[in-house]
Amino acid sequence: MTLASFLDPPGPRGRRRQRVATVVTAVVVVAVAVIAVRRLAEQGQLDGDRWDVFAQRSVWMFYLRGFARTLQAGAVGGVLSLTLGLGLAFGRLARGRPVRWVATAYIEAFRAVPLVLLMFFAFLGLPRLGLDLGPFWSVVAGLTGYNSAVFAEIFRAGILALPAGQTEAADAIGLRYWQSMRFVVVPQATRAMVPAIASQLIVLLKDTSLGALVSYEELLRRAQITGEFARSPLQALAVAALFFAVVIFALNHLARRLERHRPAPVRDGLPAEALLPAAAAQASR
C-alpha cells in the first residue's frame, strides 16, 4: 500500500497544493544540481582535458578487462560459496552433534565479521601459514568465507520452510535421508530460495570491488590506476561507478522479476544488503 490509499482523493485545493509542492521540489532539486555542476566546472573538473584519457580506445579496454576480472572473481566466488554453503547447511541440519556444532559455529562467526577482514587475512595472513594465494584467490577466499555462511543460512531456511509432510511422505515410501533430500526436499526448496540466492549473488558481485584493497586489478582498482595516471581521479572513478551502477541496476531488476513469481519466498538468513532489495520486489508488485 502507499499512504495514498488511506488519503481521501484530493479536492481542487488539495490538487493545487500538490502542484505547488511538486514545482517547489523540482526547483530545489534543479538548483542543487546546477550549483554542484557549476562548482565542478569552476574547479575545472568538467574541462575536456580531464576526460582526454577516455578518448583512447585502449583505456576503455583497460576498464572492460578490469570489469571482466570483477565478473571472474564474482563468478568463481559465487560458485564456491554456493557449494560450500550447501555443505554447511547440511552440516547444520545434520544429526551428528559435532558436525552440527562445527557448521553452526562457522556460519555464525563468518556471517558476523567484515568481508574485508577475511580478504586481508587471506592476502596477508595465509602466506605466513605457508599458503600464498595471490590477489585473485585472496579475493575469492574472502568472498567465499563470508558468502558461504550466508548461503548456508538461505539453504537451511529453504529446507526448513518446506512442510514436514514432504519429508514424512518421503520417509513413508522408504527413501533414505539423502534420497529424500536429493529428490524431494532440495528441488522444492530451491524454487523458494532462488530470489534470495540471486539477491545475495548480486551483493557478492558488488563486494568484489573490495579486491581493490588487496591489489586485485578489477574494475575499481583499474579506475584508480587510470585516475592516478591521467591526474583525474574523480573522472576515472565516475566512469567506473557508472559501469557498476548500470550493470548492478540491471541485475537487481532481473532478480526482482524472479521474485514476482514466488508466493512465499525464503528470506531468513539474508543480510540487510540483500534482504531489502528482494523485499522491495514484493512491494512493487
Partner 1 sequence: MDVIADNLDSYLGGIAVTLWLSVLSFLLAVVIGVVVATFRVSPLRLLRTLGSVYVEVFFSLPLLVWALLFFFGLPKVGLTYPPFTSAVIVLGTFTGALVGEALRSGINTVPPGQGEAARAVGLRFWQVLSLVVLPQALRTMIGPLGSILLALVRNSAVAAIAMSVDDLMWRSDQLATSTAHPVEVLTGTFVAYLILTVPGTWLVNALARRYRFTR
Partner 2 sequence: MKKRPMSLLSRLLVVMALATAAAACGSDSDTTSADTAATGGTEASTATSSGATTSSASGSESSEADEGSGDGPTVEPGTSVAAIRDKGKITIGVKYDVPLFGLKNPTTGDIEGFDIEIGKMITEAIFGDDSQVEFVEAVSKNREPFIQDGKVDLVISTYTINDARKEVVDFAGPYYVAGQDILVKADDDSIKGVDDLNGKKVCSVTGSTSLTNVQEQAPQADVSVVFDKYSLCVEALNDGRVQAVTTDNIILLGFVADSDGDLKIVDNPFTEEPYGIGLKKGDTELRDFVNDVLEQSYDDGSWKDAFDRTVGQSGQEAPTPPPVDRY
Q: Which is nearer to partner 2, 175 or 258 (CB)?
A: 258
Q: Which residue has the cell 583499474?
A: 222
Are 247 and 183 a contacting pair, CB within 8 Å? no
- The partner in contact with residue 3, picked from partner 2, partner 1, none with C-beta cut-offs of 5 to 8 angstroms by kind, is partner 1
The C-alpha cell of 90 is what?
Answer: 547440511
Q: Name residues contacting partner 1, limited to 142-201 (CB under 8 A).
A: none
- Asked if 254 interacts with partner 2 (CB under 8 A), we say yes
Per-residue string for binding with partner 1, 117-146, x by CB under 8 A?
x--xx--xx--xx-----------------
How many residues does the structure list for the chain? 285
CA distances from 285 to 9, 83, 114, 281 (A): 22, 32, 33, 6
- Asked if 127 interacts with partner 2 (CB under 8 A), we say yes
Q: CA torsion, points 52, 58, 59, 64, in degrees to nearest 10?
A: 150
Give the residue from 192, 193, 171, 194 showing the smallest Cα distance to 183: 171
Q: Which is nearer to partner 2, 104 or 252 (CB)?
A: 252
- Asked if 76 interacts with partner 2 (CB under 8 A), we say yes
Contact residues: partner 2, CB under 8 A: 53, 56, 58-59, 62, 64-65, 68-69, 71-72, 74-76, 78, 124, 127-128, 132, 191, 194, 198, 201, 215, 222, 224-231, 233, 251, 254-255, 257-258, 260-262
